[in-house]
Amino acid sequence: MKKRIMLLVGVAFLCVTSYAQKITADKVPAEVTSAFKAKFPEAKDVKWEMEKTNEYEAGFKTNGVEQSASFSADGKWLETESEIKVSELPEKVKQSIEKQFPGFKMEEASKVDNARHGTCYEAEIEKGKESYEVLLNSKGELLSKNAEKEEDEKD
């Protein structure tokens, strides 16, 4: 469970690692909360984090699907990640991962809609003690690869 949450809220803008700080909704700029409510009126269980100085991310559920959305401090939407099953990854994406990372198992997946790059797909892949978070476009082209740190499975 902890890995799923980290997969969804641990990255922003093509998987650039950042140090997010949990914050309460009253610390989020009005422009951000307004833009979030307009884009995701059905969102439930919203939890906020400050990703960078001028970037806010909401973790939430819509129709039972875990999602996260990032906004700039002025309320501009940047990205939305939605949890999907590994089996829902496009065939080109799965084939590309299998070719570029032979022997790795796809553990978790997300669909990423990004304001600058359109629709991409993120997968957590593992082989032994190696673990990566990879981002590919819908053609299966690798956009980024980030090493994952081992985490406790307490959740």
| Mean pLDDT score of the chain | 86
For the chain, count helices (H), then strands (E): 3, 11
Alpha-helical segments (H) within 1-133 = 2-9, 30-39, 91-100
Q: Where does the pLDDT of residue 14 fall: very low under 50, low under 70, confident under 90, or very high at 90 and above?
A: very low
Choosing among 1.10.3910, 3.10.450, 3.40.30, 1.10.3470, the CATH entry for 84-147 is 3.10.450
Q: Which residue has the tokens 């991409």?
A: 120
| Residue showing tokens 């833009």 | 35
pTM of the model: 0.76
CATH 3.10.450.360 location in the chain: 2-80
Distance CA 49, CA 22 (A): 4
- The pLDDT tens digits for 18-53 are 457 899 888 999 999 999 999 999 999 999 999 888
Tokens 């790059």: give the residue: 117
Does pLDDT of 151 surpass 50?
yes
CATH node for 2-80: 3.10.450.360
Give pLDDT, residue 51: 84
Rounded CA-CA distance 70/126 in Å is: 26
Given pLDDT bands bounded at 50, 70 and 90, which one contains residue 116? Answer: confident
